[in-house]
Amino acid sequence: MRLLVSLGLLSLSAAPTLAAYNLVESFSGSTFFNGWDFFDGFDNTTNGDVNFLSQANATASHLTFVDDAGHAIIRVDNTTFVPFNEKRNSVKIMTHDYFSVGSVFVMDAVHIPFGCSVWPSFWTKGPNWPAGGEIDIMELVNLAQDNQMTLHTTPGCTQPQGVMQLGKTSGTDCSAGTNSSEGCTVIETQSNNAGAAFASAGGGVWAAQFDVSGIFVWFWSRSSVPADVSNTSTSVDPSTWGTPSASWPSATCNITNFFTPQQLVIDITLCGDFAGQPTIYAQTCGGPVGNSSTCYLENVINNGTSQYADAYFEINYVKAYSLGDALDPTVSGTSVILSSISPTATSTSSANGSGTSSGSTKNGAARSLGRQSRSLLVSVVLAAMVFALCMA
């Protein structure tokens, strides 16, 4: 009986990974933008003061490119004069593929966007957003010094009390706010996780485990990145990573009930529902608290050279790892990376919104070994539980 109690406590405090996750998708170097769809036009999900550009226009405007160091650059337009009542150009990209429960997502960056009005994110969403859940892995606004990590779900998913994590919880109801807009948030407490400090430290890495045991997010500054997290790694083992920055164990949020397969998203918007809120904007950028137009008037219009000099991602790589071993092609060419522990997640439709597909290249990682190892360890644990009950 004591064994069962211990296992229950484990689910509240840690990320109980039973096997390594193997590489299924990698975006880096000259082919980084292969496998992403570019959102084209105005996006009312954030109501930001930007026009997102198609791949052709983003490339022509030099808002997306791979630099001489092999790093992917995604940036806000900082050269154009924007007249009053118009919006500034920016970029939003989404993976063509979706990834089911039983996945790990990693982003290694040397620079992330910051500045007054700037709202960058690395996040995931279901195919029928806002249904199907959302995981915000890296999200900042304005000149905030700390990243925030958030889940957005339908009612019923919460973060339990006393969870083991490095970050600070600022909300436990993942459906909080209109249409779950607030969610359940954890604020990063480690140093050098945002802004100029992040870049000065050589950047860092975020990793998110999307598992039946829960959702867990880690951040490491450049000097503390684990050995198995690198551009050459073909497998990762979250059980060796220590305490996560944010932890939402499944004890109070059944992951398969609240989350469908997830699509990776990277974007930079301006002002909008978060960065443009007068009280939020005033916290780091000043200005009258009650004036909802301050963010737009002080930054977006006119010449953006100084305001948006730091409004860019510089990314080493983005990777997805999985316990699964199959790709399921569906309509519109969209695929779901299947996990052996999520048999109901078999297909999905393409994302809402228009975009330009640039194809997808899969890595030939051997994923069946991870599944077999996981199954073996599960059998061992179950046998131990049965033995303990018999001896009780």
Which amino acid, 262? Q
The set of residues, in sequence order, having a beta carbon less than 8 Å from that of 127 and lying 6+ positions away, is 98, 260, 261, 263, 334, 348, 349, 350, 351, 352
Tell me the backbone φ, ψ of residue 338, rounded to 5 degrees. Answer: -85, 145
CA distance 278 to 268: 19
Residue among 244, 239, 217, 243 at smallest CA distance from 228:
239
The set of residues, in sequence order, having a beta carbon less than 8 Å from that of 195 and lying 6+ positions away, is 114, 140, 143, 144, 145
| Peptide linkage before 120 cis (omega within 30 of 0) | no
CA distance 79 to 255: 44
What is residue 67's three-state secondary structure? coil
Dihedral of alpha carbons 149, 154, 157, 158, sign: positive
Q: Classify strands 50-52 and 88-90 as parallel, antiparallel or unpaired.
A: parallel
What is the secondary structure of 87-128 as a DSSP string? -EEE-EEEESSEE-SSEEEEEEEEE---STTEEEEEEEE-TT
Active centre residues (catalytic)? 134, 139
Q: Are 323 and 339 in contact (CB under 8 A)?
A: yes
Dihedral of alpha carbons 231, 232, 236, 240, sign: negative
Tell me the backbone φ, ψ of residue 156, rounded to 5 degrees. Answer: 125, -15
CA distance 236 to 252: 26
